[in-house]
Structure 1
Amino acid sequence: MYQYRKTIRNMIEDEGVAIHSGVSTSLRLIPAPSGSGICFRRSGVVYPLHPRYIEVKNFHTVLKFSSTFSVHTVEHLLAACCGVGITDLIVETSQEELPFFDGSALHFVQMLESAGIQEFEEESEYIVLKEAVCVLEGNSRLVLEPAGVPMIHVNVPISSCYQEEAHFSFLTDDFNYGIAPARTFSKFSEIEYMRQRGLIQGGNLGCAVVLEEDGTALNPEGFRLPQECARHKILDILGDLMILGSPCVASIYSYAPGHSRNLKAVQLIAKNADSHYRLKYSELKALTQLSSEKKTAKYAF
């Protein structure tokens, strides 16, 4: 968690393949003034992040800003912004899907850091829950509860014989090393089903971990991180929650996590004004009674 609002110092751009459409797409990240928030721009019109733009999908996150402008697979970029502490940014893309790069948030983190980080004088703002939010879909569930120490714990049942668990503390764990490199994943048995539905047309072993039923990675290099699949689900949760406009301070638990649960939770929080409030960093620090001396250098707490 970071004390001050941040943007990037310089514009930076890159291009890559969109995972679902399979087309080449370019991405441009542009500095924004303090208080702007993270915005998407098309033809000179700027759309700030807001839950009203959510279009719930099962396999990725879509923001539908107008009848002619949608942006797909925004979750990894938003997770990178959360992890690096970027609060103000303008995003432009040549297609209606961001490049997928290696299937993690690592490339986005590297882009942001390569552009340089500019820190403002204004404090960062955080969303603090006053009451629990729960989303249930079949056997899957996502629970967000008020908490003095924000954390995320996920349990990912990949098959009947293999599951993963992972934990992330906003205050003591390093996003760049423990979460950002975690790639998206799919079971080999599900690939044809998704392709028949028009998804993952640009997918390959360079941008995802492909798993056998027993959890074995078919990628020649294997896993990057222990419990990489569960860590990627934490990445997705962080990215999806950023659609609220600020990081959400909560104790979060998810069993069989997925984008539809994350996005429905965002919509529930946004629709119920009494479920949360916003605090500046100094107010949040006083509320949680945390000492900066106890936290890693990557984080302000």
Structure 2
Amino acid sequence: MKQKTLGNEVRISGIGVHTGNNIEAILKPAKAGSGITFVRKDLDPCIRIKADIDNVDDVIRGTALKSEGFEVYTVEHVLAACAGLGIFNVDIEINSNEFPVADGSSKHFVELIREAGIKELDEEQEVFDVTETISVVKDDTVIIIKPHNEFKISFTIDYDHPVIGSQYLSIPINEKTFTEEIMFARTFGFYRDYEKLKSQSKAAGSSLENTIGLDDQQVLNEDGLRAPNEFVRHKILDMIGDLSLMGMPIRGHVVAVKVGHALNVEAARLLRKAYKKFKMSQNTFNINDIKKILPHRYPFLLVDRIVGIEDGKKAIGLKNVTVNEEFFNGHFPSRPVMPGVLIIEALAQVAGVFMLSKTEHQGKLPFFGGIDKFRFRRPVEPGDALYLEIEIIKLMGKIGKVKGTAKVDGKLVASGELMFSLVKA
């Protein structure tokens, strides 16, 4: 499956459901791997806010993103439209802090995107396969994501209301099912909550033109519902938009009971965490692999295994500290403690594996350029499994700076910064 973007730019105008602002938006093609980014054109300079789970700021009655102190509200419906069509690369320019609500569904956005055309890019679209069950529970609400051969959502809602009641829908999510069964479902709200929302600076643009309104007994919209179970369909729509903040399609079965944006976002965070764990597990090195990369040898090879590398960002190594280590003979015979400078050296060796495993750096030697801000919290003793994590701070050609963190049993042992350079062997 190839990555997709828009064939041409398309304009959208309308009101913001919460701010009441009149908004102009332009959806533009974007290059492969760039993701979906909102561009606040009303600011000088413009602020780019990536549709990413790390940028979620607010989940009350909608999903809001924030970057550099600036927000964009109510992004879930346009994100659902993009994800439902398999599009994960778009620049969205807006002249306000909220995306237009249109009719409260994703239908209008899908129609405009199809009008602009969908362009297939050369690069492959990565898909995250759920391999272990993920669960989020809060009170009587729950999300469980299980391994499955396709993206599927099974959603249950339960409202003490004669029109809504209990509704359940289980459906595979693909372009056909999304456009035929989900995209038209509108957001809904209760009249009794309207004044409270307005006092919270919410729902200023809400009306029966963009919301299914309900009093205590009935639907207030003259045209009624688009489907008897439109409510649960819209909840699925919201979930598709929120989960897309993970940054790629997923294959897995999502079982959800009575959840909203907050739990959706938490599930997306756990998916991202599982994805990072999986990616790191694909980049492991045993001691023989390490010896092919590093020039160090016993007794100065201080890393037994690289348990994972996150490309371009960080690496985690393991040193099993045994009583037979040479340095324990003199440090100290009566109370064996691993020297702090060797903990720093072990971290540096993990950084060395990270750098020298790259094709362009093979055949080089890593030299210290500096050590800064190191603090030691507790001793490392025989029998400890010393986990060594380095995270890139700066990397420019042959020179780099990393943050190093050493832990035993999840407790911090030492941390600080290392500077290094690569020289010809």
Whether the aligned pair in 1 keeps the contact of 2:29 and 2:89 (CA below 8 Å) is yes
Q: Secondary structure at the match of 2:192?
A: helix
Paired with 2:175 and 2:205, the residues of 1 have a C-alpha distance of 36
Distance 1:171 1:84, change over 3 A: closer
Runs of 4+ in 1 over 4 A off after TM superposition: 272-278
Q: Give the direction of change, closer, same or farther, for the CA distance of 1:277–1:227 in structure 2 (3 Å limit).
A: farther
Are the equivalent residues in 2 in contact too, given 1:151–1:251 (CA < 8 A)? yes
Query: CA 1:46 to 1:23, structure 2 compared with 1: closer, same or farther past 3 Å?
Result: closer
Gaps of 5+ in 1: 279-301
Partner of 1:103: 104
Residue type of the partner of 1:169?
A: P
Offset of residue 137 of structure 1: 2.0
Bigger Rg over Cα: 2
Q: 1:28 aligns with which of 26, 29, 40?
A: 26
> In 2 relative to 1, CA 85–150 (structure 1 residues): closer, same or farther, beyond 3 Å?
closer
Q: Which runs of 5+ in 2 are unaligned?
A: 281-425
Partner of 2:187: 184
Change (3 A) 1:37 1:163: same
Q: Identity over aligned residues, as a percent?
A: 31
Q: Are positions 1:139 and 2:123 aligned together?
A: no
**1:283 aligns to what?**
none
Q: 1:160 to 1:113 in 2, by over 3 A?
A: closer
2:295 — aligned with what?
none
- Structure-1-length-normalised TM-score: 0.85
- Greater RCO, CA 8 A, separation 6+: 1
Instruction: Judge conservation of contact 1:82–1:239 (CA < 8 Å) in 2.
Output: yes
**TM-score normalized by structure 2?**
0.61
- C-alpha change, 1:243 and 1:159, in structure 2 (3 Å) is same
The one of 31, 37, 40 aligned to 2:38: 40
- Quick check: 1:164 aligned with 2:132? no
Q: Measured at CA, do residues 273 and 87 of structure 1 come closer, stay the same or move farther in structure 2, by a change above 3 Å?
A: closer
Alpha carbons 1:130, 1:276 under 8 Å: kept: no
| CA distance 1:237–1:170, shift in 2 (3 Å) | same
- Equivalent of residue 5 in structure 2, options 4, 7, 10: 7
Indicate whether 1:228 and 2:226 are aligned: no
Q: Which AA in structure 2 matches 1:240?
A: D
CA RMSD in angstroms comes to 2.0
Structure 2 counterpart of 1:194: 197
How many Å separate the matches in 2 of 1:59 and 1:47? 20
Task: Assess, with a 3 A threshold, how the Cα gap between structure 1 residues 236 and 172 changes in structure 2: closer, same or farther.
Answer: closer
Match of 1:123 in 2: 124
CA distance in 2, matches of 1:38, 1:209: 28
Change (3 A) 1:274 1:123: closer
Amino acid aligned to 1:53: N
Work out whether 1:268 is the aligned partner of 2:270: yes
Q: 1:90 to 1:191 in 2, by over 3 A?
A: same
Distance 2:137 2:71 in 1: 27
